[in-house]
Amino acid sequence: MCGIVGYVGSRKAYPLLMEGLQRLEYRGYDSAGVALIEQGGIVVQKSAGKIAILTEKLKDCDFVATTGIAHTRWATHGEPNDINAHPHTGMTGKIAVVHNGIIENFAALKEVLKRQGHIFKTETDTEILAHLIEEYYEGNLLQAVRRALTQVEGTYGIAVISTDSPEVMVAARSGSPLVVGCGDGENFVASDVAALLRHTNRVVYLQDGELAEVTPGGFSITTIDDVVVSPHLQEISWSLDMIEKGGFDHFMLKEIFEQPDTLKNAMRGRLNFGEATARLNGLNLQYDELRHIRRIILTACGTSWHAALIGEYMIEEYARIPVEVEYASEFRYRSPIIHPGTVVFVISQSGETADTLAAMREAKRKGATCLGICNVVGSTIARESDGGVYIHAGPEIGVASTKAFTSQIMVLSLITILLSRMRNMSYEKGEELINAINTVPEQVRQVLALNDDIKAIAEKYHHKDNFLYLGRGVNFPVALEGALKLKEISYIHAEGYPAAEMKHGPIALIDENMPVVVLAPQDSVYSKITSNLQEIKARKGRIIAVATEGDVRIRELADEIIYLPRVHEFIVPVVATIPLQLMAYHMAVLRGCDVDQPRNLAKSVTVE
Ligand code: AGP
């Protein structure tokens, strides 16, 4: 997630800004930059890579500026490189902007500005903000920013400075957090309290639709409609360590709870309600090419491979296109058969997994069209693919993947609808699925509210050494993912199985010491699942069921029940994953494991 730091005061701004950025490094980023009002002009210095590269580049500079803004970028539009790094300026070089968020209508705004003579230097959505503010600037920076933002659709947290008003910094928020830090004769703006806590613990959190005009002597807040807001001053008591994790004990738990927002980002601007389909321009395929896809291969590793399995169920059921799911590590050495009309989707959170990258290169070598489903913009897989869809989950710090997994499923759902609506899916069916997808963030929020109940279950079973996870149909891969989550962070042995496979071997393991987690929503195979539950119960197995709220029958069979809201079958995999993530998390914590950095694991396996 991007980081913003701004300063206006009497001290030299540069060291304060860089120290603030360093406090935000934990959030993950791919480039950094700073803009200073230095001796009447704006100095902008920025570079791809770590903050240390920037500070090394500027180590001999002695900036005297007392006003400045700085940024760490997590790329969403445009490669992570020097030119695309923030801050961005417009045509005159008198205004500099840093931005967190996604401007959905930036392409349209860019076209209008180009017709007005603006020349753009970067591929970013943010740069249009600098040009737009310039376009509206008539001597008052706050008013120019306000007018510019009324044109913007999407999310933003921004900080803006101008040479014409060297002691003024304007900040604005809609969908991306921003906080004003109140000092003595100096004030700060930041995307995260961690960046300014060393200097002040008195802060005002901007709300969506608010702008702040900040000077060394104070600040004022107004709404986008120019209504004055009385600021709500708060004193922060958190430690820095707590703040970096947003008040959660671990990054993994923070990322589990981010999912309502990250799922919203995965679908942002991609639900075409009018035509009951999805909008995925990044695929870089013409409609005709998409319509003539005859076979799909989904290849990935680990959790991403589980997402691929879910994609297989969805695409085959709705789009009626044959799908094969391949472990990337197997695919690359298997001399795969690639026919004309074969599209390979390469799924990878990091976009750097060695096996997955090699599998993509092998598929391309054999003539396949390769499309990436990645989280990291500009990652190797994203760059080398023929197109793709970013999941926009923000940096995933915890080694165990959580929010990236559910966003991968979300993107696969969108791909399913896009392809299906080009084939046999009716408008009504497309509308039904689009509407179901649109409810996902709220449904996930409801399941997250069960955290304490799930923790209570973890407390009863965390000392067990073996678990089975069972599911049928599209919930079989969910069972696999639940088992992997438990394995990799709590070191408890866990296996996922299709529920019907139990009788072909695993049932021999069932006894009173074997907890069995069963995905048992009231769906088309519910009656089959309840038979499996009876088989387990007959052998004294302990059953932890993930069921549908209102299901009374399950009480006769399960020892523990986690009730999910009654949701469309199409979105059950995303919703059903949440309790499994939380259960694995709590068991790992109860067992004293290093949840964010489990032993032997790496966040991105860039070796074979
Ligand atoms: C998931 O919890 C694991 N950390 C691991 O299986 C991961 O999913 C796998 O290494 C693939 O990573 P990628 O999505 O970045 O390619």
Q: From the centroid of its chain, how far is CA 137? A: 34
| Ligand 1 atom closest to residue 401's alpha carbon, by position in its atom list | 2
Name which residue leads in pLDDT, 604 or 546: 546
- Residue 304 alpha carbon to ligand 1 centre in Å: 6
Residue 304 beta carbon below 6 angstroms from any ligand 1 atom: yes
Residue 348 beta carbon below 6 angstroms from any ligand 1 atom: yes
Residue whose Cα lies nearest atom 9 of ligand 1: it is 302
pLDDT at 185 over 80: yes
- Residue 405 alpha carbon to ligand 1 centre in Å: 9
Which residue among 2, 182, 370, 593 is the active-site one? 2
Any catalytic annotation for residue 59?
Answer: no
Tokens (6 digits) for 438: 């649109």
Residue 303 beta carbon below 6 angstroms from any ligand 1 atom: yes
Span between the terminal Cα atoms of the chain, in Å: 28
Q: What is the pLDDT of residue 239?
A: 67
pLDDT band per the 50, 70, 90 thresholds, residue 490 = very high
Which residue among 46, 254, 264, 603 is the active-site one? 603
Spell out the alpha helix ranges (H) of 282-379. Answer: 287-291, 302-314, 328-331, 354-365
Residue 376 beta carbon below 6 angstroms from any ligand 1 atom: no
- Residue 418 alpha carbon to ligand 1 centre in Å: 26
Contacts of 550 (CB under 8 A, 6+ apart): 563, 566
CA dihedral 288, 297, 304, 435 (to 10 degrees): 40
pLDDT at 560 over 70: yes
Rounded average pLDDT over 217-229: 97
Any catalytic annotation for residue 364?
Answer: no
Which has the closest alpha carbon to 20: 267, 197, 212?
197
Strand partners of residue 97: 88, 160
Q: What is the pLDDT of residue 608?
A: 65
Residue 375 beta carbon below 6 angstroms from any ligand 1 atom: no
Average pLDDT of the chain, as a whole number: 94
d(C-alpha 527, C-alpha 303), whole Å: 28
Residue whose Cα lies nearest atom 6 of ligand 1: it is 302
| Ligand 1 atom closest to residue 605's alpha carbon, by position in its atom list | 10
Least confident of 141-145, 283-287, 375-379, 505-509: 375-379
Distances (CA, A) of 525 to 171, 500, 521, 529: 53, 11, 9, 6
- Residue 245 alpha carbon to ligand 1 centre in Å: 21
Q: How many CA atoms lie within 13 A of 303 on its CB side?
A: 28
Which has the closest alpha carbon to 396: 385, 387, 407, 388?
407
Global confidence as pTM: 0.77
